[in-house]
Amino acid sequence: MEIRFSDTRPTGDFALVLPAAGTLRPGLDSLGAAKASVEGTLKRNRFEGETGGVAETFLDSDGGRRLLVIGTGDDAKAGDAPEKLGGAAVARLLTSGETQAVIDLTGLGLDADASARVGLGAALRSWRYDRYRTKLKDKQKPTLTSIIIVGGAPGSEDRYASRYAAVVDGVSLTRELVTEPPNIIYPETFVERVKESVKGLGLDVQVLGADEMAKLGMGALLGVAQGSVRAPQLLVMKWNGGKDGDAPVAFVGKGVTFDTGGISIKPAQNMEAMKWDMGGAGAVVGAMKALAGRKAKANVVGICGLVENMPDGNAQRPGDVVTTMSGQTVEVINTDAEGRLVLCDAITWTQQNIKPKAIVDLATLTGAMVITLGHEYAGIFANDEILAAALIKAADTSGDKLWRQPLADAYDRLIDSQIADMKNVGPREAGSITAAQFIKRFVDDGVAWAHLDIAGMAWSDKAKPTYDKGATGYGVRLLDQYIADTAEG
């Protein structure tokens, strides 16, 4: 989707979008004699300018031009109202037959950032992945190719180009990886796709294979991978945009490109959804692309542990004991609790080789998190109050919401093993918390760490303001905003 900004409306054919902030509807004044008729249409539709409300009509006096009036709530600048405005316009027009739309912000009083975020919402909502759909009917095909934002504050275009265009690219990469089927995206092709996508952005990309990880003693990650013919990978992406010598922030992603559960096999129903069990790794590479694309003034490293969890004759068994890179041992009670085994070795590698000032891991880790928070928030667990507060602030700004969860010794004791240092699952209760406690055992003293359980957020079965059904791209905007607030603020 092409996003442009202009001081005036263009000539020619386009759909016109006018925002309505409650009863504040300055755009209607530009309609001339048609204003009264449009106001009557709004009244008949019981349109009150509420957030997400859309009224549609056609202007006979303007050659039959399509007009959308979209509600933003009483304050068009508040929260994510600008993104919802842009997203609602695209959602309504994407397959409408219109090729160009003008969103006229005149009179709303939006600043440059809010005006730019209208474009952000529009660009995010326009993303589709039709690569494998060969028989789409004409009415199902996207037609909208261009959004022109008129009447924004001075500097809106520069703000969009410098701050948000790269974020759109990063979110798009994450959605693409999460959407692709598991016969297309597996550890090796994940790496290939990412390398191609970030070419020329200045990222330093390193890849460790199975032999290299075996020499390092990464027995937990390799144990998950041993049942698959797909070779595991550890993908490392470095962005050095900050001061020389400054310790970087590290983002660590769980990248299980397909999860059958292994020997502890999952039920067949809905197993196909487990192609998105690499959503944490997807978010990390999307965030790294966004940061590099906008030349973020920060040092950041993204690390992705990439495996496929399969149940062949060589697969890890319940009851096996593995030795992690840290030297700690784990009794594997359930092979479907594999993400934490991948993360623990990835985090140890990160601490030994990167020495970061903070670690944030992201993982579609537990179904228990979905039971707890549904599909509205991801859970955050942290050992550092400053880090937790900064991430929650970034979550509120970006719209990738987080809700704080507890950590405590009482939960930690639930994963003690009788024959090893720990087991990889606790009892059924507090499943998300014991998973976080497991990861915490691999975080070195003095290292600020946060774990984001995004199990309910990487994929959506219903459309939302800035994405359609499917891959959401959750985490990219959150991590990008966190860096903007803390390392660049």
Q: Give the pLDDT confidence of 319-367 residue by residue, as tens digits.
A: 999 999 999 999 999 999 999 999 999 999 999 999 999 999 999 999 9
Whether 287 has a pLDDT exceeding 90, the answer reads: yes
Q: Report the SS3 class of residue 189.
A: helix
Average per-residue pLDDT in the chain?
97
Asked if 89 and 17 touch (Cβ cutoff 8 Å), the reply is yes
Tens digits of residue pLDDT in 201-252: 999 999 999 999 999 999 999 999 999 999 999 999 999 999 999 999 999 9
Give the number of other Cβ atoms within 10 Å of residue 268's Cβ. 8
Measured at the CA of 223, the angle between CA 213 and CA 328, to 5 degrees, comes to 75
Q: State the pairing for strand pair 321-323/329-331.
A: antiparallel
Residue 213 near residue 348, CB atoms below 8 Å: no
The H-or-E segment that residue 453 falls in is strand 448-453
Query: Which pLDDT does position 362 carry in this prediction?
Result: 98
pLDDT reported for residue 52 = 85
Q: Tell which residue, 111, 94, 91, has the closest CA to residue 151.
A: 111
Q: Is residue 58's pLDDT more than 90? A: yes
**In the predicted structure, residue 276 carries a pLDDT above the cut 90:** yes
Query: Is residue 266 annotated as a catalytic residue, yes or no?
Result: yes
62 pLDDT exceeds 90?
A: no
Crossing angle of helices 112-125 and 81-93, in 10° steps, is 40
How far apart CA 308 and CA 276 sit, in angstroms, is: 12
Q: Can you give the pLDDT at residue 251?
A: 99
**H/E run at residue 204:** strand 204-208
Distance between the two ends of the chain, CA-based, in angstroms? 30
Binning pLDDT at 50, 70 and 90, where does residue 414 land? very high
Q: Which long-range contacts (CB under 8 A, 24 or more apart) does 312-316 make?
A: 312/227, 312/228, 312/229, 314/226, 314/227, 315/226, 315/227, 315/262, 315/263, 316/223, 316/224, 316/226, 316/227, 316/262, 316/263
Mean pLDDT of 416-439: 98
What's residue 297's pLDDT?
98
Q: Percent of the chain scored above 70 by pLDDT?
A: 100
Mean pLDDT confidence for 434-460: 98
Q: Stretch 148-154: mean pLDDT, rounded?
A: 97
Read off the pLDDT band of 61 (50, 70, 90).
confident
60 or 39, greater pLDDT? 39
Which segment of 62-71, 213-222, 284-293 scores lowest on mean pLDDT?
A: 62-71
Q: Is residue 117 flagged as an active site residue? A: no
Give CA 399 to chain center in angstroms: 10
Q: What letter represents residue 25's amino acid?
A: R
Q: Which pLDDT score, from 0 to 100, does residue 220 have?
A: 98
Distance between CA atoms of residues 85 and 388, nearest Å: 30
Task: Kindly list the structural domains of the chain, giving each domain's residue range(s) and its CATH number in brackets, ordered by start.
Answer: 2-153 (3.40.220.10), 164-486 (3.40.630.10)
Which entry of 9, 35, 128, 266 is annotated as an active-site residue? 266
Active-site option among 163, 340, 423, 477: 340
Q: Where are the alpha helices (DSSP H) in 399-430?
A: 409-412
Question: By C-alpha distance, which of 77, 84, 293, 82 is closest to 171?
Answer: 293
Read off the pLDDT band of 12 (50, 70, 90).
very high
pTM of the predicted model, to two decimals? 0.97
pLDDT at 433: 98
Identify which of 471, 199, 233 has the alpha carbon closest to the alpha carbon of residue 349. 233
Q: How far apart are CA 242 and CA 295, in angstroms?
A: 10
